[in-house]
Amino acid sequence: MVSVGIVGGTGYTGVELLRLLLRHPQVTVRTLTSRTEAGKRVADMFPSLRGHTDLEFSDLDLEQLKQCDVVFFATPHGVAMQHAEQLVAANTKVIDLAADFRLQDLEQFEKWYGLQHSCPQILKDSAYGLTELNREKIKQASVIGNPGCYPTTVQLGLAPLLQSKNNLIQPSSIIIDAKSGVSGAGRKASLGMIYSENADNFKAYGVAGHRHHPEIVEALENISGQKGVFDSIIFVPHLVPMIRGMLSTIYVDLTDEGANTDLQSLYEHFYKDEKFVDVMPANSSPETRSVRGANELRIALYKPQPNKLIVLSVQDNLVKGAAGQAVQNMNLMFNFAEDAGLTGIGLLP
């Protein structure tokens, strides 16, 4: 059995992570921390977990965390990097669900997150945790930077095009029109997140610049092996009045070679062995509710014009977009079956 610690157990991502790990056949959750709820029973705060755990929240105790095989950080940006070096020295693996280990470009990290990175060498040796595209490095890593939710939909939506040996798209033409449920903003008291501000409302945000933009650019450069060609992509996120779910509509211009390629077959072949990526039949319309609660991302393709492609990519932002992908990464790090603890089916209605 693998011993697990979770730092930051009261947020949506933290409790989703706990929900998944409690049913994992090879995991024991040893400690769950909270700055504000230490001593409180987890099931008292989250009634859905009654009968499934007797855990209590505790203060962050680094010595206790060092006794774990792996520690997940479901915390604000900047927390994991304060503790990663000591945990790695104690042979404890680290999976960070915030941004501390996502960007290798320190200048971009400091610009977008307003933080100076406290362990650049650990960052350099870490692995970016987009499971389907980075398995071998994840298996060998001690520290994982779990991808952002929007970047997950974009990378998996575009990877077959970018890893093709053929020149299929014009990178500078990419437009990403993305929507997320309000849980993507976290579990916190904020005027912009209250019911009366979001119900019957739909809005764009971060139009002038969003911190997932540099992550998307860096990731697409790594996938394609091309530098500097994605700087002009457009990424606009939107807030949708629902709790869970994320849909990215990605518009790309095809080259002549791309226009003459069977892109449906390309995607189906690329993801044919993936448990958690579903390429739907051509001209399908994937819905966010079809993946609610499941660690699955669904993709559909449209060609409205000979040289235009639309990629639709949907996921549950708290599962495949966060906690589920983190568990996938843990499974790889400990040589478990990749779907261990992750076989739940999406909830309908």
Distance CA 252, CA 1 (A): 45
Phi, psi of 235 (to 5 degrees): -130, 120
- 149 labelled catalytic: yes
Which one of 149, 247, 266, 297 is the catalytic residue? 149
Which positions ≥6 away from 89 have C-beta within 8 Å?
Answer: none
**Sheet holding 203-204: strands in order across?**
203-204, 234-239, 175-180, 246-253, 308-315, 297-305, 277-279
Which residues participate in catalysis according to the annotation? 149
